[in-house]
């Protein structure tokens, strides 16, 4: 129950950030559709850019897993790999 409440609050709060969504565009690459469908329903694209200097593949995998397990993000298991691949290749730390 707490996870659902937290996820709902985060999604509602992120609505404020959506007005500034055009500030940062996701890179067009394989997997961007999965990120748009699964990630930006709760937070802006800026969140990805802010974390990109710090996260490698392991970090992005942990971040996606946290979104699912801690915040209840409704990401299908089959989409996780595509999301992590996209984030790593386009926003990962080298």
Please check the confidence at residue 51 and state whether its pLDDT lies above 80: no
Q: How confident is the model at residue 13 (pLDDT cuts 50, 70, 90)?
A: low
Residue 63 scores a pLDDT above 60: yes
pLDDT at 16 over 50: no
Residue 65 pLDDT more than 90? yes
pTM for the whole thing? 0.74
Evaluate whether 45 touches 86 at the Cβ level (below 8 Å).
no
Q: Where are the domains of the chain?
A: 2-91
- Count CA atoms within 13 Å of residue 26 on its CB side: 22
**Mean of all residue pLDDT scores within the chain:** 83
Return the closest-CA partner of residue 93 out of 63, 53, 49: 53
Domain 2-91, CATH number (from 3.30.365.10, 1.10.760.10, 1.10.357.10, 3.40.50.12780): 1.10.760.10
């Amino acid at each position: 129950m707490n996870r659902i409440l937290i996820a709902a609050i985060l999604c509602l709060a992120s609505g404020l950030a959506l007005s500034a969504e055009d500030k940062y565009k996701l890179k067009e690459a394989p997997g961007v559709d999965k990120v748009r469908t699964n990630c930006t329903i709760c937070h802006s694209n800026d969140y990805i850019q802010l974390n990109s200097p710090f996260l490698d593949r392991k970090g992005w995998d942990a971040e996606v897993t946290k979104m699912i397990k801690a915040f209840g993000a409704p990401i299908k298991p089959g989409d996780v790999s595509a999301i992590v691949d996209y984030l790593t290749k386009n926003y990962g730390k080298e």
